[in-house]
Amino acid sequence: MTDIETFIRGMPKAELHVHIEGTIEPPMMFALAERNRVELPWRSPEALEGAFAFDDLQSFLDIYFAGCRVMVQGQDFYDVTKAYLRRAHADNVVRAEVFLGPQGFTDRTPLAEIMEAVLHAIDDAGQDCGIRGGLIVSTHRHRPEKDAFALLDSIMPWRERIIGIGMGGPERPNPPSKFTRYFQECRRRGLRTTIHAGEEGPAEYVRQAVEVLAVDRIDHGNAALSDQALVSLLAERQIPLTVCPVSNVKLKVVNELADHPLRRMLAAGLNVSLHSDDPPYFGAYINENYVQCQKALGLPLDQIVTLARNSLTSSWATQSEMSDQLSRLERYVAENVPCDAARAATPHAICGR
């Protein structure tokens, strides 16, 4: 490994955009299918991996929802969540805020069983390895708004354990404005909010997320760059954008990583950070997103540190926890930045030696 890669892999960071249902590794998917007597359309884990060649978001979602069928018992949700958090800890993720979309499961698994299992796994991972976790309940945007309201009411028994509300699924033809009343109600109940926007949808969807829904974060947000006034608004308000570059390549949002707008986002002063989305499907957990972006885009060390710092400040941690994690990052930078590599990357890079 290069010095820069070693630095990235050891650097404290937060993961704010990852879907628990999308973290099932192929061998685990087949183990869960056997446990629950679910027949999969693939003959082996290797055949499943071979199907991870997507044309667009919908072609991914078709496989994604097929894979969700293997999660039936509370133990399944516990095992999948715990496995992801253990893997994230290995990438030096100090805080993980994970999405869960219960609407895809409650036709076969009681909501209480799902919620308790996921929250138990988050607690146990914190005890076992120190990673801090938070649960974001995600709504499917291809369903009617009344279904979102029903989900919101159903999760209230766990209100104090839920850090926020998200929304995912196919953007077209489901603009953020379709859920205006729902997001108003989430805010009224004191819940933080985020929504996927500007991945396959246009800049207008990002604008609606900001101006109509008044979300706290935006997941993806790539398309915003086509609207300079919107870019200025995002920069002024420092609304976090949780970007998933390898996912964007795999889903044909961009042709290759070198074309990704990440550098332009940083240059525009946007509050952008890196995340993995659905790592087994795209072949890249969070460290690989950092490493591959650094290589493809030639990111200097100061921008790598900025991305990690943004991930921590954009989290929904308590102020005390956030301060501790930022201090941990600054100590790491001071003690570990590879100075020669940093100087080669940029004359203004941070160097603690």
pLDDT, one tens digit per residue, over 225-280 is 999 999 999 999 999 999 999 999 999 999 999 999 999 999 999 999 999 999 99
Distance CA 273, CA 241 (A): 6
Q: Is the pLDDT of residue 338 over 80?
A: no
Indicate the number of domains in the chain: 1
Instruction: Quote the tokens at residue 220.
Output: 């993806």
**Mean pLDDT throughout 64-69?**
91
Q: What is the pLDDT of residue 137?
A: 98
Compare 138 and 61 and report the one with higher pLDDT: 138
Is 80 inside a domain boundary?
yes
Q: What is the mean pLDDT of residues 308-313?
A: 98
Domain membership of residue 148 (yes or no) is: yes
Q: pLDDT tier at 25 (50, 70, 90 boundaries)?
A: very high
pLDDT at 343: 42
Helix residue spans in the chain (DSSP H): 3-10, 26-36, 45-50, 57-68, 74-90, 111-129, 145-154, 180-188, 203-211, 228-237, 245-250, 262-267, 279-282, 286-297, 301-313, 319-336, 339-345
Question: Which residues participate in catalysis according to the annotation?
Answer: 199
The pLDDT value given to residue 349: 42
**Domain of 212, in residue numbers:** 3-345
For residue 239, is it within any domain? yes
pTM tops 0.85 = yes
Q: pLDDT at position 339, please?
A: 57
Residue whose token pair is 């078709």 = 62
Is residue 353 pLDDT above 50, yes or no?
Answer: no
Paired strand residues for 93: 13
Q: Is 242 left (phi over 0), alpha (psi -120 to 50) or beta?
A: beta
- What is the per-residue pLDDT for 7? 96
Q: Is the predicted pLDDT of residue 49 greater than 70, yes or no?
A: yes
- Does residue 352 carry a pLDDT above 60? no
What is the pLDDT averaged over residues 158-182?
A: 97
Residue at 296 is within a domain: yes
Residue type, 24: I
**In this predicted structure, what is the pLDDT of residue 341?**
47
Tens digits of residue pLDDT in 197-240:
999 999 999 999 999 999 999 999 999 999 999 999 999 999 99
Inform me whether the pLDDT recorded for 48 exceeds 70.
yes
User: Does some domain include residue 352?
Assistant: no
User: What is the reported pLDDT for 216?
Assistant: 98
CATH number at residue 205: 3.20.20.140
Q: Is position 272 within any domain? A: yes
pLDDT for 97-128, tens place per residue?
999 999 999 999 999 999 999 999 999 999 99
Which distant-in-sequence residues (6+ apart) come within 8 Å of 205 by Cβ? 171, 175, 176, 197, 198, 223
Question: What secondary structure letter does DSSP report for 295?
Answer: H
Average pLDDT for residues 37-44, to the nearest whole number?
94
pLDDT at 47: 95
CB 249 within 8 A of CB 279: no
Q: CA angle 336-290-194, nearest 5°? A: 115
- Please provide the average confidence, as pLDDT, over all residues in the chain: 94
**pLDDT score at 2:** 61
Mean pLDDT over 320-340 rounds to 90
Residue 351 lies in a domain: no
The answer to the question of residue 219 being in a domain is: yes
- List, in sequence order, every residue forming a beta bridge with 243; answer none if it has no partner: 274
pLDDT at 9 over 80: yes
Is residue 213 within 8 Å of residue 219, measured between CB atoms?
A: no
